Amino acid sequence: MIINNNISAINAQRTLKFRNVELSKDMAALSSGLRINRAGDDASGLAVSEKMRTQIRGLRQAERNTQDGISFIQTTEGYLQESQDILQRIRELSVQSANGIYTDADRMLIQVEVSQLVDEVNRIASQAQFNTLNMLTGRFANPNEGGAPVASMWFHMGANMDERRRVYIGTMTAAALGLQTPEGVSISISSIDKANSAIGLVDEALMKVSKQRSNLGAYQNRLELTAQGLMIAYENTAASESRIRDTDMAETSVKFAKDQILSQANLAMLAQANTMNQGALRLIQ
């Protein structure tokens, strides 16, 4: 019998220490709901999980960005609809004034309404804003179509760099639509010929507004599809990250129960190993 080194007790103490470490990991996983609480739990799993978390947060924000873009487009389109309704009224008055049954005095009365409507087109263009950004004054005009933009309207529609799309909005002031001279003089319907020419000018203005609304509608449809795709990507990436990082509660509970039993067995064996040397003491008494 060896008394200087109790090998059985040393082995029992070593396995008990290991089992207590496993119990601590089990309790951390069960209490936090995470299988990976620190890098030592799964170094490679943590690296992959953190990359996925980066994508998850980026996708969620990109979806919010897309919804903000949809709101911007809807607001802009609403202002353009107002302008188009006014243009329709101006055209109606131009057609009326081009009829020969009206006197010059009658046309001057009609001109008063036309001039007021042209001023209203200017008011809408100057006051149409989204988050204090003027939308219809050429701020986001397309330089390839003769515009002189002073800013860029980019919708960032993805979780990564350069995943964005630029939106152009033309100038919708009365002058840009051909309804007013640079000096501020509105189109005239004071004679039959002028009223006839005004019909053509208003038709061009209506075409320009209709084209812009059509472009915005296409943008909106694209953004809505993008938002759906982003949410699908967000859900799938979150599910993948969960499988890597989250605790399997059933499996971990079973392991925790097993480690508890083994820890209690180790304690019993450690106590038993310590009593073995007491037999040597009784021999020399």
pLDDT digits (tens), the chain, 285 positions: 555 556 666 676 777 677 766 766 767 677 777 777 777 777 888 899 999 999 999 999 999 999 999 999 999 999 999 999 999 999 999 999 999 999 999 999 999 999 999 999 999 999 999 999 999 998 888 777 655 555 678 999 999 999 999 999 999 999 999 999 888 888 999 999 999 999 999 999 999 999 999 999 999 999 999 999 999 999 999 999 888 877 767 777 777 777 777 777 767 666 666 666 665 556 555
Question: Per the domain annotation, does 164 fall within a domain?
Answer: yes
Say if residue 82 is in the same domain as residue 62.
Answer: yes
Q: What is the 3-state secondary structure (H, E, C) of the chain?
A: CCCCCCHHHHHHHHHHHHHHHHHHHHHHHHHHCECCCCHHHCHHHHHHHHHHHHHHHHHHHHHHHHHHHHHHHHHHHHHHHHHHHHHHHHHHHHHHHCCCCCCHHHHHHHHHHHHHHHHHHHHHHHHCEECCEECCCCCCCCHHHCCCCCCCEEEECCCCCCCEEEECCCCCCCCCCCCECCCCCECCCCCHHHHHHHHHHHHHHHHHHHHHHHHHHHHHHHHHHHHHHHHHHHHHHHHHHHHHHECCHHHHHHHHHHHHHHHHHHHHHHHHHHHHCHHHHHHHC
What pLDDT score was predicted for residue 139?
86
- pLDDT value, residue 65: 96
In a domain, 40, yes or no: no
Do 259 and 234 lie in one domain? The reply is no
Based on the fold, state whether residues 26 and 139 are members of the same structural domain. Answer: no
Residues 230 and 257 in one domain: no
pLDDT value of position 7:
66
Q: Does residue 164 sit in the same domain as residue 269?
A: no
Residue 281 placed within a domain = no
Q: How many domains does the chain have?
A: 2
If asked whether residues 257 and 203 sit together in one domain, one would say no
Are 105 and 11 within one domain?
A: no
Range of the domain at 156: 46-244
In this prediction, residue 277 carries a pLDDT of: 62
